[in-house]
Amino acid sequence: MLRLLYGEHGGALLGYALRLTGGDRAQAEDIVQETLLRAWRHPEALAGRPVRPWLFTVARNLAVDAHRARRARPPETGIDERLVALPGSDDIDRALESWTVAEALAELSPAHRAVLVQTFYRGLSVAEAARVLGVPPGTVKSRTYYALRALRLALEERGVTTP
């Protein structure tokens, strides 16, 4: 029954709910879902009458109720400017991770550190890094490989696990 109701009236009901909610699709979908749920729970209300007007009336009543509930709710307070200035846990975590990576990079050989700085931090291609470092591109590739292995080992020694 519910599938048949949705198949026949779902599109029109969603369009009507979208107009009622000012284009808020999530709220409109909630209204359609609740309307169909009420039709399923009360099949006697649909017996002997046209279905679509009943569905549209229920949808309108749900939209009005939702609007009134939002208006009756006290307004939210503003954001405390002092709290905005405090760093969040993400900022602290990012700073600690950066510090750990910097310490691990400092343990690498100068050649390995230089190749990682050129390729990862400056975003140069292998050919560009080879020109900057004055080495062949193949050397940049092999140094990058071994530098990443050494960096992973240094990070694991510090307790940083790889996903």
Q: pTM higher than 0.75, yes or no?
A: no
Residue 122 · residue 116 · CB < 8 Å: no
Residue 13 · residue 56 · CB < 8 Å: yes
Distances (CA, A) of 81 to 77, 88, 160: 12, 14, 35
132/67 Cα distance (integer angstroms): 64
Domain positions in the chain are 2-72, 88-157
163/149 Cα distance (integer angstroms): 15
120/108 Cα distance (integer angstroms): 15
Per-residue pLDDT of the chain in tens (163 residues, 90 and over written 9)? 778 878 888 888 888 898 888 888 999 999 999 998 888 888 887 788 788 888 888 999 998 888 888 778 766 666 666 555 655 556 677 777 888 888 889 999 999 999 999 998 899 999 999 999 999 999 999 999 999 999 988 888 877 766 5
Instruction: For the beta carbon of residue 160, count every other beta carbon within 10 angstroms.
Output: 13
CATH level 2 (architecture), domain 2-72? Orthogonal Bundle (1.10)
CATH number of 88-157: 1.10.10.10
